[in-house]
């Protein structure tokens, strides 16, 4: 049994807890960096997996995101993992890429992610306004692109969510579900970042708590240089161990 209303409440509660208002788009990756004790790992998890969540002791948590998915989908997955982090009693979750399938806890996490990134009231107001402006009965593909760009989520996540509303009938939703929207979005003046994966050099990366922990242990002399480097290399931070081949910092 999926408790839709309960999930909506949970999404609203977590927004509040993390210092977000109740209806604006969220920069979910920036938000993740502010969560105490959370390590965020980007990793190419393959064709079938979208993410993982591993809860440790003392708020020592790890969330991994499949870095080969589009950035819109990665944002959705991160919000999905928040459900496991805050509301799932299992300590480890390995999550499948297919939306709204599998166990109830996975479906719940998908719905939660949808409500968390696109609060119901804000989404419906936007849908109504777009329909009013276009003077059509239903949302068009362009409308959907405007909405996904506004909330920063993947195309499929938007179609899935709106198919349950009067603004997008089932047959249209089925049609729009598998449409490639990248070039359409570009012709509407949007950046196509949402529809692209991360550049290859960023597909293996760890941010957040883990790096701080290693740094702290090393600076207190609790681990050797070798161990420190090993810990960073396990977390794919060759850049911190060997330095980066870049032009250096820019101050502006």
55 within 8 A of 63, measured Cβ to Cβ = no
Of 105, 108, 143, 109, nearest in space to 126 by CA: 143
Q: How far is CA 117 from CA 29, 109, 200, 239, 243, in A?
A: 12, 12, 26, 32, 36
Please tell me whether residue 95 binds other proteins under the rule CB under 8 A. yes
Pairing mode, strands 49-55 and 205-208:
unpaired
Please tell me whether residue 90 binds other proteins under the rule CB under 8 A. yes
Of 112, 110, 132, 84, nearest in space to 15 by CA: 112
How far apart CA 64 and CA 27 sit, in angstroms, is 17
2, 13, 92, 188: residue in contact with other proteins (rule CB under 8 A):
92
How far apart CA 148 and CA 201 sit, in angstroms, is 26
With respect to other proteins, which residue has the nearer C-beta, 53 or 123? Answer: 53
With respect to other proteins, which residue has the nearer C-beta, 190 or 236? Answer: 236
Please tell me whether residue 223 binds other proteins under the rule CB under 8 A. yes
Please tell me whether residue 197 binds other proteins under the rule CB under 8 A. no
Part of the chain binding other proteins (CB under 8 A), chosen from 122-130, 145-153, 170-178, 205-213: 205-213
21, 104, 174, 234: residue in contact with other proteins (rule CB under 8 A):
234
Q: Which of residues 25-64 bind other proteins (CB under 8 A)?
A: 39, 41, 43-46, 48-49, 52, 54-58, 60, 62, 64
How far apart CA 14 and CA 147 sit, in angstroms, is 22
Interface positions with other proteins (CB under 8 A): 39, 41, 43-46, 48-49, 52, 54-58, 60, 62, 64, 90-96, 102-103, 105-106, 206, 209-210, 213-214, 216-217, 220, 222-223, 231, 234-235
């Amino acid at each position: 049994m999926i408790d839709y209303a309960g999930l909506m409440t949970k999404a609203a509660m977590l927004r509040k807890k993390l210092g977000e208002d109740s209806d604006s788009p969220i920069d979910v990756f920036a938000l993740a960096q502010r969560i105490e004790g959370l390590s965020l790992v980007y990793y190419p998890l393959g064709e079938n997996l979208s993410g993982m969540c591993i809860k440790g002791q003392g708020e020592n948590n790890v969330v991994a995101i499949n870095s080969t998915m589009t950035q819109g989908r990665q944002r959705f997955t991160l919000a999905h993992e928040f459900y496991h982090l805050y509301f799932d009693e299992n300590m480890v979750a390995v999550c499948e890429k297919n939306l709204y399938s599998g166990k109830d806890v996975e479906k719940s996490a998908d719905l939660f992610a949808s409500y968390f990134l696109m609060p119901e009231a804000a989404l419906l107001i936007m849908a109504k306004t777009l329909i009013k402006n276009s003077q059509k009965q239903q949302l068009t593909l362009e409308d959907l692109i405007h909405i996904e760009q506004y909330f920063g989520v993947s195309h499929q996540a938007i179609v899935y969510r709106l198919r349950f509303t009067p603004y997008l009938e089932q047959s249209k939703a089925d049609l729009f579900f598998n449409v490639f929207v990248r070039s359409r979005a570009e012709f509407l003046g949007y950046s196509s970042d949402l529809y692209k994966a991360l550049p290859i050099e960023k597909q293996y990366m760890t941010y957040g708590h883990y790096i701080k922990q290693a740094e702290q242990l090393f600076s207190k002399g609790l681990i050797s240089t070798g161990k420190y480097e090993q810990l960073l290399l396990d977390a794919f931070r060759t850049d911190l161990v060997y330095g980066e081949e870049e032009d250096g910092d820019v101050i502006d």
